[in-house]
Structure 1
């Protein structure tokens, strides 16, 4: 800008344009894909971004659970949820403005509470919900008014959705979008088999294991934030997962993750990562190779990888 010589000016401008173009390409067409779990407190939200941003799948949105009506003095006039400050901001930083599939595993507030923000701030092509959820009041108040042009697809395990990188393995029938009706997803990403199932209980996990007897899991997202109601010991022993992910709030009132779940993981020699300790965590992959990127406990500026 300030160079007097025309030649230097010309070279500098070309260099700046090339650098800017390369940076934009790397942001909007990244070589690596990822399966990332957001640190959104006592809730659940994860994103699967295929290499070159080929498809974007957001699984649940997190959301704050309130107990009873808040007094007027506690209500903030201008309030931004972590759906905007964490999820939307992160997606924008990755050059993402469109989501191909928004999967809402069931109707609990800590899984769909931020859906209205995501639907408002992002361009959503398809909303995937468990069969029977459209009839529930939670859908009619929390989802339907904010859909805009998004299409809604109710699913069971025998329905597959376009541009969804994982297979739907639960529910087996229509229900009321409760924990036992959760959408469970399973598939092969970056050389690893990944399983995630919202708040699905032990009985549901066992049904999946029986229905898919040859199923093997490498990366397991613990059900129900590490509650003892999920993570069936028999199923885990059969699946032999290497890595477990827990999404739970710090000092939460439910004492998640429960001792029983951690013992099951220990008995199966799993490496466990927890948003309470590690914050946001990411399995980054390209082709058939991937690695885990997490924060080392008590050293927030350092990162480590687990193959």
Structure 2
């Protein structure tokens, strides 16, 4: 098997893909691949048998993530178990994982300290790794996504094997005793982080704890987003580079300072590396690097010679055996995909002695290898990220990371010198982030690809593998041909919506508010009707949460980078609050409002500065976007009420007629049917979230809708939708879709036929 371990590793990787995407047709492709390797004598019987055995073993070993059912107990109960892992503590939240003794399940225990709770440290001092705890609480289902593209917290916890959560109302609801010896290392990490934050400036502390201890919670959220946008997230995660530097540092101190012999130093490293992996947060990329070094030390001691590819493949298999949920971790996926890619192209790296060219190759291979994952998780790709890596990677490799380790070593020794280094680093890092922000501002024009199929991802990786193989063999014309195919694949994937004859209308679930997205066939236009927001509780400031967590992820998942027009029904925050964030972030062609919409001058100036045209329409006018005609039905006169002055739109999509009503009341409804006696619609956007002040029986009888759409928040304080409205809709025979029970609702159509789909089952 020596020299062939990458085949079982690739087989298990295919097995992981089959499990995650539940695409069993890939099994046939996998067996045919092995058969082809055997027929063409590329692989012997033993590697093939090992690959098959491991494939089917891991197929039964790795769990399939299935939706969680409602908790078995709906009332408060007593649970006992053992704390696993570290205690995650922030000023706003404390949480940890508890292994429940009775169900053998993992529970996430969460406590939100009150601002007046000054004894939080005293309360949680007994919450330690390995402690035996008893708690009183109620099992709850974690929040799941209710919109396409939205982060699914429930699924995220499932990828860690966590099924339910228990929210503690008071620290008195739990009592813990004892701890394991491993708790000392988790405590050491916590105290070390606290010590660093106390001794150096917040800017330096944020980077020191992130790059040495794997805690990036203090790094500015905008900075993390900046790194994600440019495909630089790997910089913020502890990886082989970090582990290599700390191994070199410790090894140098032990050997060069004559503290230990080489033999004893290796034993120290075998003991030190797993402890560092724990102290550094235990992320998959850390374990990969640490186990790789440990494996090489062990092989050297046993006088066994294995290639780096074999070692990496064995580590890959061992890590999955140690934690069957690790395959769902994005860090695990990125780490091994990039490392395998670099190993397979190492011959190309060795063909040049130029450090600049080697850096370019590494950046190119890394970015191209993660392209499918970059699209799957973030929906965008920036070609210039390859060049930006040339600047960022050396800066962090040769300055920031070594500087952070130096700071950590010097912290207990020299107060004044540490302060000087702290100030120096803080200023340099601030300048560097400023430069990155400037680059982002002027050059960030990403390819918004949207989602990518598993077939497309596999095809891309095969093309890239063949491209790199031809390049290494210096078959330039062949490599150029495959490079062209890769480019065409990326462009084709990006332009896919422009060849799609289907369109859609999606009512997003943004809680108590409205946000509709209309995608015309062949991407002739993307139109929105309203984009609501919320205000932050306490400070009453407008929140970008709806845009950042719901609207933007949905647009990106659909490959949308431009909104051709957005109709604003009226000025209430739950209908227009996200628009300023949208215009600041993406290209919005037009904002269309009624003649009675009181748009503030500052917004009018800002929006025009961003290239957005502001158009006012009155009753009776029409506007064409793409090839879609929208007619303004109301307001007829100024009623001096935001709700009553709502812009009411009529259009036809997928063979159905649609009426978007904003928040109009019964008086406007009566006026509307009086002015348009022949008006009938198939789909009614129910006014004012189903308020009892709207949707009268006479209105329903006149327009005779078949479907009703209600965008409404769960358990909202307004009592929407009103029971009497629901009864009227039932009496009128209207089939209702509601975001509070159905999540996002999408109508997909082609020509004059279409179907409604609910996001939630």
CA distance in 2, matches of 1:175, 1:114: 25
1:225 aligns with 2:689: yes
Q: RMSD in angstroms over aligned alpha carbons?
A: 2.6
1:36 aligns with 2:506: yes
1:209 aligns with 2:673: yes
Unpaired runs of 5+ residues, structure 2, are: 1-464
CA distance in 2, matches of 1:189, 1:228: 28
Tell me the equivalent position of 2:63: none
Label 1:10 to 1:124 Cα distance change in 2 as closer, same or farther (>3 A). closer
**1:160 Cα shift?**
2.2
Tell me the equivalent position of 2:243: none
1:57 aligns with 2:519: no
CA distance in 2, matches of 1:125, 1:177: 28
CA distance in 2, matches of 1:177, 1:28: 41
- Aligned positions, number: 288
Say which of 647, 651, 657 aligns to 1:183: 647
Label 1:126 to 1:17 Cα distance change in 2 as closer, same or farther (>3 A). closer
CA distance in 2, matches of 1:65, 1:80: 9
User: TM-score, normalized by length of structure 2?
Assistant: 0.36
Q: As a proportion of its length, which structure holds more strand?
A: 1
**For the Cα contact (< 8 Å) 1:116–1:143, is it kept in 2?**
no
**For the Cα contact (< 8 Å) 1:195–1:219, is it kept in 2?**
yes
**For the Cα contact (< 8 Å) 1:88–1:122, is it kept in 2?**
no
CA distance in 1, matches of 2:708, 2:659: 10
1:264 aligns with 2:734: no
- Deviation per residue, 1:131-174 (Å, 9 max, x gap): 122xx3x6345555344222222221122224263211111134
Tell me the equivalent position of 1:20: 490
**For the Cα contact (< 8 Å) 1:130–1:177, is it kept in 2?**
no
1:246 aligns with 2:700: no
**1:80 Cα shift?**
4.2
**For the Cα contact (< 8 Å) 1:196–1:221, is it kept in 2?**
yes
| Secondary structure class of the residue paired with 2:600 | helix
CA distance in 2, matches of 1:125, 1:14: 33
CA distance in 1, matches of 2:531, 2:697: 28
Label 1:66 to 1:230 Cα distance change in 2 as closer, same or farther (>3 A). farther
1:145 aligns with 2:609: no
Label 1:240 to 1:167 Cα distance change in 2 as closer, same or farther (>3 A). same
1:235 aligns with 2:689: no
| Paired residues for 1:164-183 under 5 Å | 165-174=629-638, 176=640, 178-183=642-647
Tell me the equivalent position of 2:188: none
Tell me the equivalent position of 2:619: 157
Say which of 80, 90, 94 aligns to 2:554: 90
Q: Higher relative contact order by CA 8 Å / sep ≥ 6: 1 or 2?
A: 1
CA distance in 2, matches of 1:110, 1:143: 19
| Secondary structure class of the residue paired with 2:593 | strand
**For the Cα contact (< 8 Å) 2:531–2:575, is it kept in 1?**
yes
CA distance in 1, matches of 2:600, 2:505: 26
1:122 aligns with 2:586: yes
CA distance in 1, matches of 2:536, 2:666: 26
Which protein has the larger Cα radius of gyration, Structure 1 or Structure 2? 2
1:281 aligns with 2:745: yes
User: TM-score, normalized by length of structure 1?
Assistant: 0.84
